Amino acid sequence: MVVKVTEGIEVQVRTNFDLRHSKPNSDFFWFNYRIRIENKSSDAVQLLRRHWLIYDSFLLTNEVEGEGVVGETPYIEPGDSHSYDSHCNLHTDMGFMEGTYLMKRISDGHLFFVDIPKFGMVAPFRLN
């Protein structure tokens, strides 16, 4: 698990290689990840947008940007958290992702970016 805190918003990421959906002989590697966003600030926030940079082991980049996460733009009260599951496929058996969330502080409408920590994705057989 990797963790990063920006302006009182903590982002935790856990990853898992999914062999059932992967096809290593066809250079298709599926990774699941779980994100937990905890509001450690004193203000309610709303997650508005996400921006991802996805790299395979050849450092080929895929950029993903859009509204919310998995179809939601969650409000997160102080002391609460929001979790979601998603996935990524790569053409190599290892890579990494990093990015940002655009958040809005509800009390005054202030917009700010929250860093998503860089996290690795490695097929277990790559570690042998």
Q: Identify which of 90, 71, 93 has the alpha carbon closest to the alpha carbon of residue 82.
A: 71
Tell me, rounded to whole angstroms, the distance of Cα 110 from its chain centroid: 22
How far is Cα 1 from Cα 6, in angstroms, rounded to an integer?
A: 17
How far is Cα 38 from Cα 20, in angstroms, rounded to an integer?
A: 31
| Residue 128 placed within a domain | no
What is the identity of the amino acid at 87? H
- What is the per-residue pLDDT for 61? 85
DSSP bridge partners of 50: 66, 101
CATH number of the domain encompassing residue 104: 2.60.40.1470
Q: How confident is the model at residue 128 (pLDDT cuts 50, 70, 90)?
A: low
Q: Identify which of 28, 15, 16 has the alpha carbon closest to the alpha carbon of residue 98.
A: 15
| Residue 86 placed within a domain | yes
As a whole number, mean pLDDT of residues 36-43 equals 98
Range of the domain at 119: 2-123
Predicted TM-score (pTM) of the model is 0.94
| Residue 94 placed within a domain | yes
As a whole number, mean pLDDT of residues 27-40 equals 98
Domain count, the chain: 1
pLDDT digits (tens, 9 = 90+) for 74-119: 999 999 999 999 999 999 999 999 999 999 999 999 999 999 999 9
